Amino acid sequence: MSTRQLIEAFDAWRRAGEDIVLATVTGTAGSTYSKPGAQMLISGDGQFRGLLSGGCLEGDLVEHAKDVIARGLPKAVRYDMRNRDEDQLWGLGLGCDGAIDIFLQALDEEHEPFAAIARRVSARIPSAYALVLESAVPGLPSGAVALADEADVDLYAVPEQLLGELAGIARVRLATGGAARVQCELEGGAIDVLAATIPLPVHLLVLGGGPDAMPLLRIARELGWYVTVGDHRRAYVERIRGTADVVHDVAPADLARSLDPNAYDAAVIMSHHLQSDRGYLRALASSRLPYIGLLGPRARRERLMSELGDEAGDLGTRLYGPVGLDIGADTPQGIALAIAAEIHTVLKVPRSRRDSTPRSRSNVV
């Protein structure tokens, strides 16, 4: 589950007055469904959002969460499926050959960083946290959190005098990425910390609000992406309102003045109008977008690039057209799936591994 979806679940449960427990993967060994830093939320009535094991451990984690709420104390649990006898004894039947450590904590007023995370996510501010798992330092409890970006720090149950140490751990992780356990000595004792970056949801710009954009918007929502749609056709703009986070009534020639293309991770051009597509490509040519998808066959892309001439800039290295992976898609739903999969691949998979990925060959529309 994406950061956005966790934030939305937290907000809904908090408004409903539910107790909430955050479960965080703090370590793994061998083959596991999740890696350190993965999180899920569990409500007091046993609902959960997010998966740490693909559904195998979640029921047991719900019981641990009830214990955390009842006792008012965080707890660490470990599942080691490298021992098959133990797997059979527990009756979990995970089928994995790994071990996973999970830290559960109640999100009370002292340990509730989600509002601060939501602010940074909505503003697209990269950030990382340092979560205290064990502490021998007086006044620094397990479950304390420092959430930091390059400019600011928010503390939850962390004494002010330890701000520098915990923020420093978080910022080192912000610079290196990913998640890692950190053990260190502070004045007063040793601490064991999980330091992890906050994944920012993909921000997708869709240029063209025709009927075939709707399946792409639905898939993007399911993935927890933020979506902005731009179109100059009033009927399309009105029809698509409420299905995207932001909808712009904007002509292609005014696109660069109306919004900042660099505020997005990927753009897909699907207006089905040659002149509009040319205007969109011109507006995106000087951006830093790593992914620009163009709906339509290869000959159409080549014609547009030829018409743009020098204005095309370095679009050629970032332009994906026909858009989407080659999965044999021939329906709007299939094409939307191919587009979302390609965006995910470009943004998440190193280029050395992407070079052998089949690209779409048609987009005949």
DSSP of 266-280: EEEE--S-HHHHHHH
- State the pLDDT confidence band at 32, using cuts at 50, 70 and 90: confident
Structure tokens at 233: 């056709």
Q: What is the pLDDT of residues 178-226, one digit of tens each?
A: 999 999 999 889 999 999 999 999 999 999 999 999 999 999 999 999 9
Mean pLDDT of the chain: 90
Least confident span in 94-103, 178-187, 238-247, 261-270: 94-103
What's the pLDDT score for residue 115?
A: 87
- State the pLDDT confidence band at 314, using cuts at 50, 70 and 90: confident
CA dihedral 309, 315, 317, 323 (to 10 degrees): -110
Q: Is the pLDDT of residue 94 over 70?
A: no
How many angstroms separate the CA atoms of 128 and 126, rounded? 7
Q: What is the pLDDT of residues 227-247, one digit of tens each?
A: 999 999 989 999 998 899 999
What's the pLDDT score for residue 329?
A: 92
Which regions of the chain carry the CATH code 3.40.50.720? 203-354
Q: Is the pLDDT of residue 351 over 90?
A: no
Q: Is the pLDDT of residue 96 over 80?
A: no
How many angstroms separate the CA atoms of 135 and 166, rounded? 12
What's the pLDDT score for residue 92?
A: 53
Q: Domain 203-354 is in which class?
A: alpha beta
CA distances to 45, 121, 213, 246, 335 from 219, rounded to whole Å, are 29, 20, 10, 16, 11
Q: Is the pLDDT of residue 365 over 60?
A: no
How many angstroms separate the CA atoms of 319 and 149, rounded? 32
Hey, which residues does 191 pair with through a beta bridge?
A: 135, 184
Cβ neighbours for 363, distance < 8 A, ≥ 6 positions apart: 295, 296, 297, 321, 322, 323, 324, 335
What's the pLDDT score for residue 89?
A: 45
- State the pLDDT confidence band at 356, using cuts at 50, 70 and 90: low
